[in-house]
Amino acid sequence: MRIRHPAAIAASEITPRALFDRRREFLRASAGLALSTLVPQAEARLGPGKPSIYSTSEAPTPLKHVAGYNNFYEFGTDKEDPAQYAHALHTRPWTVSIEGLVQKPKTLGIEELLRLAPLEERIYRLRCVEGWSMVIPWLGFPLATVLKQVEPLGNAKYVELVTAAQEDTMPGVKRHVLDWPYTEGLRLDEAMHPLTLIAVGLYGDVLPNQNGAPLRLVVPWKYGFKSGKSIVKIRFTESEPRTAWMKAAPREYGFYSNVNPEVDHPRWSQATERRIGEFFKRRTLPFNGYGEQVAQLYAGMDLRKQF
């Protein structure tokens, strides 16, 4: 599979190189300090000093917005609810079960997962189906690194991801807004794509609870609800998983949920978006700007019907 660099953006949107380099030096230093509390010698595992080839050069959204304006319905439906209530989430001990159509099913603790691969900083755009967007510097490693541990069988075509549903810490779980636990899914080739990330941190620090601690999925070319938070189970299946939002509103939330400015949500347009912290709206990019890397995954598909 040929991987190209993210699409070019306007020069006016690019952070000055000197400022960008200074910010990265600070993040690498702070990431080593923060993550060393999770994994011994984590500072030595942060990877090469160069920015990831998958990163955008756009200026990151301020941390106060990234950590304070979230969708995490397990803690409430208001954007401020996760930051207010997620401090109660139990993140240790934490294990992830990897099962289904695999040769070697496993249950891995968070410490084992963090030892699988060097952490990378990847600055990704995040586009929400509600029309807002952010640019976030994640720390993580490819989901494919985890999936290869269990040797998927030949009839495995999809990956289902199941997230935590802690009734004692997640007040939203008692309200039955969705069918808990929250589930999401990807086609196997989407899950194995090098852009698909397991994030364990952001902004050079460990992942805040409200952003999906201790580990979450990040699929940058899809709407944000596809990136499940606080993952506890990964299951390989032959048939397409029924995801939480497909169960709740199948007319509004399709399985693929690729960012597509030409396919409107039934209640609002997807042609434009509002970057958090900006006043004016901007044009939405097909596949959230990652079309050069992922459009070939959907060759021959009608993305208006398979939305």
Residue 167 burial by CB count (10 A; 0-12/13-18/19+): exposed, middle or buried? exposed
HEC letters along 162-175: EECCCCCCCHHHHH
What confidence score (pLDDT) does residue 37 get? 41
Here the tokens at position 25 are 């030096």
Q: Residue 178 in contact with residue 73, Cβ under 8 Å?
A: yes
φ, ψ for residue 110 (rounded to 5)? Answer: -60, -35
Secondary structure letter of residue 98 according to DSSP: E
Are the beta carbons of 245 and 219 closer than 8 angstroms? no
* Exposure class string for 32-60: b at 16+ Cβ within 10 A, else e: bebbeeebeebbebbbeeebbebbbbbbb
CATH of 11-296, one of 3.90.420.10, 3.40.718.10, 3.10.20.880, 3.40.50.150: 3.90.420.10
Query: CA-CA distance, 259 to 271, in Å (whole number)?
Result: 10
Instruction: Look at residue 11 in the predicted model and tell me its pLDDT.
Output: 37
Does an H or E element contain 274, and which? strand 272-275
pLDDT along the chain (307 residues), means of 10: 42 40 43 40 38 90 97 97 98 97 97 92 97 96 96 98 98 95 98 97 94 98 98 98 96 96 94 96 98 98 94
pLDDT for the residue 52: 82
Per-residue model confidence (pLDDT) at position 51: 64
Comparing CA positions, the residue from 140, 141, 153 lying closest to residue 235 is 153
Cα–Cα dist 258/275, whole Å: 18
Report d(CA 281, CA 290) in Å as an integer: 19
CB 108 within 8 A of CB 149: yes
Q: Which residue has the tokens 């960012």?
A: 259
Closest CA to 123 of 147, 144, 110, 140: 140
Q: How many CB atoms lie within 10 A of CB 174?
A: 11
Fill in the DSSP letter of residue 13.
Answer: G
The residues, ordered by sequence, that sit 6+ positions from 16 with a Cβ below 8 Å of its Cβ are none
